[in-house]
Structure 1
Amino acid sequence: MTSPKVKLLICITPVYGHVMPIRAVATALIGRGYDVTVLTGSDYKEKIEDIGATFVPLEGKADLTEAIMAKLIKNFVAVIPPPTGDALMLKTFIGWIPSQHESVQKALKSLKEADPEARILVLFESAFRGTLPTLLGAGDIRPIGQIGLGVVPIMGLTSIDTAPWKGGSRSDQSEEGRRENIILNEKDKERFVKSQARWEEILKETGSKDPELYWRDVPWHKANRFIQMCAPSIEYPRSDAPAGLRYSGGLGPGLRDPMKSFPSWWDDIALNPQKKRIIAVSQGTISTDVKELIIPTMMSMKDRGDVLVVAALGKRGAKLAEDFVVPDNTRYADFIPYDEMLQYADVFVTNGGYGSVQHALGNGVPLIVGGIGADKVDNAMRVAWSGAGINLETHRPTVEALQEAVMATLDDPKYKKRAKEIQDEMRSYDPIGVIEQSIEEVVRAST
């Protein structure tokens, strides 16, 4: 039941893998009667308006495009030595906050002007930090509360049970492990001194109250609720997690836009008359250099008559090089929604974006993960830790390494069994129901 006069302002970092899962959430909330406004990049105006939400564009540096993000990642990978984590945060998540904050306040003002009696609740996607100044008292217009939605792994939350995010965190709850985690977490804060200093400057500039927390910890400790969009079995346990942390089980099949047209070869996998084992491979929508995983996967299986490789290139209009000879047992297309492809797959080779991991597990498919940058190394480590797949520990594996990993995943039933167990766990949740319950709890607490 929707609360009367409550309007939802949903704030999203304008990157495909962040926008689309939250767009699915927004679609479902609209279907349950909520009035939804979405604040994200101008590139996504049509996709947001298509679901019946009001679209508000981000402004300034916050109005990112996929091309800008791809360039950032390319530069990060290419520079030797790579930029420090501190420098990257200053350029990205910290650097975007002022423009994001201004955009949030403008959106809140617009909603209030349209309906002075409206009570506004903010939902923010976990990488979007521009709602935090408002959460901490900045701005002329205050929402009744804020709820975080986690579409990347929990990397920034300091815990005695985990090592910090540093290109791949780990979980260790032993006494010795906890002692080491404490030391590593303190050292991690030293690595981000400039980011912390800039965060504190932003708080002063915006008139926010300093929460006296490490900047990365703020969303989990200060939001009214923080809903991690996954099953607990694919996230490290934290005995000291904030009370407001919830799990939604992820977004399983059926909550995304269906595929409208299919490649001419689709029956080869949908009907699979020869009962071949199907290896799906994709590198997401940003890191689309096919030489990293897609072509090596094709080549690793090219001599196997019992296998069919299905590749999604990640961008509409994307093509393979004209001189590349596609193996006879490979099918590919420029863009294939994950759920459409993975419902037929036996294994998924991926660079480890959070969405790719969630889609695979939602379909009960074990993973082989090899990626770099953003959250990909952390996702790969969680997949291996959970038992649902193999971590290649590189974004450019050899053909031989891929062949070994694929055959190990196909031949050892433990990976499929574990992926199915997590799929069942995901199915036990009502993800939109978890979010709606949190919304109603925050609304009731504000009256």
Structure 2
Amino acid sequence: MPSAKSFLSAVAVLFFLFSNEATAQVQTARYISMISHTKAYYEYVPEGYPEPNRKYPLLIFLHGSGESGQGTAASLPIVLRNGPPKLINEGKFPKSFTVNNVNYKMLVISPQFTVWPTENDLDSVINYLIAHYPVDVNRVYLTGLSMGGGTVWNYSGNDIAHATRIAGIVPVCGAGYPYPSHARTMAAANLPVWATHNSIDGTVPPSYTNDYIDLINSAPVPPNPLARKTIFTVASNNHDAWTRTYDSGYKENGKNVYEWMLQYRRFLTALPVSGLTFNATVVNSNKVNLQWNTASETNVSRFVLQRSTNGSSYTDLSSFNSTSVNGAGASYQYLDAMAPTGIVYYRVLILDLDGNRNFTEVKTVELANSGVLSVYPNPADSELKISSGTSLNNQTLRITNAAGQVSITKRLTGNAPYSVDVSTLRPGAYYVLIEGDNGRQSFNFIKK
């Protein structure tokens, strides 16, 4: 008959085995500064990593403002509060996914940002990860909640080169104002979008998600696939739409968000040029100087400079034959003296000798039209500036939070641009109303 000691030993072995199974997922803190605004990140690599000659889908998770920190041993674990890093830490993240009869294992990277990340910050993070991990560049996915969701919106809509670089996005209660130009960019890129939000959210208005999806799907050329949304019904104010979104057991049409992302991919090819820089600069308020430089050129036939007023339909401005000598770099320049007013988009089409077509990133400029109001920066940190083609002297400015409470009231004096101190505002979404004898103008902005 087994002794009590033997029985307890067996129980201990079983407990050890089951505990190992539950915590088999390894998430490693990396105290590495990928860029100036992030000093550390969590790295999750799947079982068996790395496998010879295998490229892995990459999921980048962007946290909310409450998880920001300096990337120290004390602050980095805050990132484990929500989303995929939380599930991985608890051993609840699926080890693999089977989509269309293909098995995928994801790399998951969760940076901690010191401030609200910019589009360039995120682009640099992607560059770093592709350079340091065996990433399948055709399967790079972005997701984030609140501030992180807003960064996903802003990055994807800011530039066609960004939107076409990403295979799918899942912004969760994203704190990103739904700019029509951003929506058109994502639609033009056919970027797969699944956005989620709660029906009552006092931190970030559900209208941000609703409006973004409507704007994307009503673009001049609707995307394929159409953008989709899930609005979770809640009885009272609740910002947490992420718990259900990231739960692998929550599925729509038979797929959770991870499986949904993995059904999409890009088909990226290497550019026939290296070290390409492209810049657009406004000259004398009504002209645009376009310049691009290459470090090297291989098999390039010509460059075609293109312009758009909606971010989706482009017309050719001018064509330039390659002036590269023996594969060296070259410089090209064009002055658009007939640029239209408003937001204008520019890109360069690169044609090689084999007939392949590639595009540079899109550059945008704004040419003022009398009476048009614009605000910047958005998101704002400590100062919000307002420019206008007409004077707003003696008009009243009011800033309200998402709950409708007035946070700032100011009488505008003098001529534009006007400056408003928003340093005392809590991070979140705000609504601005400017009223005077000639009517009212309004806009939204995000406080970092």
The question of a shared fold, defined as TM-score above 0.5 by the shorter chain, is answered with no
More strand by share: 2
Superposition TM-score, scaled by structure 1 size: 0.29
Superposition TM-score, scaled by structure 2 size: 0.29
Q: Which gives a bigger RCO, structure 1 or 2 (Cα 8 Å, sep 6+)?
A: 1
More helix by share: 1
For the pair shown, the structure with the greater C-alpha radius of gyration is: 2
